[in-house]
Structure 1
């Protein structure tokens, strides 16, 4: 039987990030063969990750990147979840997020499912994340995903505190002229959380539901029947101003809207996405 030296243990720990006892056990089972021991640690880690899948993983980070595309730029944002913020803020977890979003961008993924199947050094992003779960001893998973394309793409990553990785990311696509105010739009999106770009983007069923609620509320308040339609329109406009980006008051100057901001710049915002850690399963 091979002698399991302290140097061998350190070498395997440095290569895998596994715990002392896991490394010693794997080296003993592999009779000192470090490559075989790495395989054992990987297999054990994946099995353990499967056992952790039922546990809540709603902490984590949002990793993002912008790459050049055929018709301009493409922005990607990927949520990587852990069970605790202690793990989320480790350099290894942040590095994992950067690795995942780079693999996703290289694959040109368009959905969260495609993102998980993107090729990585471990095989796929899904397999990379599974292996990472063994290192962190927590359930780790890919959460929300966004892809935004346009002539110009701006990303703003918000950190809730200096020691934590980004927990909110806003990605904005604009035309060339709109790029001058794209950062301001990204800040607005991060802070105010609009759901749609313009009024026409709000689904018909959402409009119908909001209008019905506004009508019933006005009736319950005993408003005169003849003025209820006007009250409902006022409440619908308030709904749009809260949830539609171009109709929101610009946070730095409430005398104008975000739409006014782009008009003054002579440009357009084409699309946006906002991801926030832990919000994907709501």
Structure 2
């Protein structure tokens, strides 16, 4: 039987982030062979992954990067904020983002199948989940195209990594305005770029709702069409970015601000951890 030193245990723990008892037991089982101990710990963790499959992942982070004419954003989720703010989880998110961006993946399905070194992104995540002892999943992936990009990552707590992320693709030369609009998106949370992008069925459903509300309020029949259209317009101001009141000056629309700055938005994405 090999003599397992505290230095061996410490070295392996720092390498993998595993617990003291599990690390020592793995080294004993491997007769001091570091590589074999790593394999034992990963196999043990993989079994734990299966048991954690039904657990919820309400914590995590968002990360984004631009590569040429495409920007990629991911939401990597875990179970606790303790893991979310750890160096190993943050490092994992950087590896995942790099791999997803390099592969040009635009969906979770494409992303988890993307190569990450000599394995896939999905395998990389599973391996790290086994070591960290929590369920970890790539919850969302977004791909935005454009000539330029404004990337805004917001921390809701100084102790945690970014919890809200926005990627804005645009053409034009006013980077400051583009970034300001990305910040606006982070809290205004528009669903679409322009009113023309809102699905017709969604508009019709809203029109039926506000018509019923207006009738129940006893509005005059003759005035109903104008009242309903006014309320539908208010709906557009809620869901369409270009129609929204600009956060820094609610007397003008985001569309007007962008137009005055010579900036044209090609697309955007917004993620909030757990939302």
Aligned equivalents of 2:270 and 2:61: distance in 1?
A: 13
> Which 4+ runs in 1 deviate beyond 4 A?
none
- Partner SS for 1:41: helix
Match of 1:104 in 2: 100
Are the equivalent residues in 2 in contact too, given 1:177–1:268 (CA < 8 A)?
no
CA shift for structure 1 position 126: 1.2
CA shift for structure 1 position 178: 5.5
Matched, 1:159 2:155: yes
Match of 1:251 among 241, 244, 247: 247
Match of 1:24 in 2: 24
Are the equivalent residues in 2 in contact too, given 1:153–1:173 (CA < 8 A)?
yes
TM-score (norm 1): 0.93
Aligned equivalents of 2:262 and 2:10: distance in 1?
A: 60
Aligned equivalents of 1:81 and 1:197: distance in 2?
A: 27
- Partner SS for 2:50: helix
CA shift for structure 1 position 267: 2.6
Match of 1:172 among 151, 168, 175: 168
CA shift for structure 1 position 117: 1.4
TM-score (norm 2): 0.96
Number of residue-to-residue matches in the alignment: 275
Taking structure 1 as reference, are residues 207 and 251 closer, same or farther at Cα in structure 2, changes over 3 Å only?
Answer: same
Are the equivalent residues in 1 in contact too, given 2:172–2:262 (CA < 8 A)?
no
CA shift for structure 1 position 225: 1.5
* Residues 240-249 or 120-129, more deviating: 120-129
Taking structure 1 as reference, are residues 122 and 10 closer, same or farther at Cα in structure 2, changes over 3 Å only?
Answer: farther
CA shift for structure 1 position 93: 1.4
For residues 137-185 of structure 1, what are the alpha-carbon distances to aligned partners after superposition, in whole Å with 9 as ceiling and x for unaligned?
Answer: 2111111111101111110001112221111111001113454521011
5+ long unaligned stretches in structure 1: none
Match of 1:113 among 109, 119, 138: 109
CA shift for structure 1 position 76: 0.9
- Partner SS for 1:56: coil
Match of 1:208 in 2: 204
Aligned equivalents of 1:51 and 1:130: distance in 2?
A: 13
For residues 215-252 of structure 1, what are the alpha-carbon distances to aligned partners after superposition, in whole Å with 9 as ceiling and x for unaligned?
Answer: 11111112122211111101000011111100101110
* Residues 261-270 or 171-180, more deviating: 171-180
Matched, 1:82 2:82: no
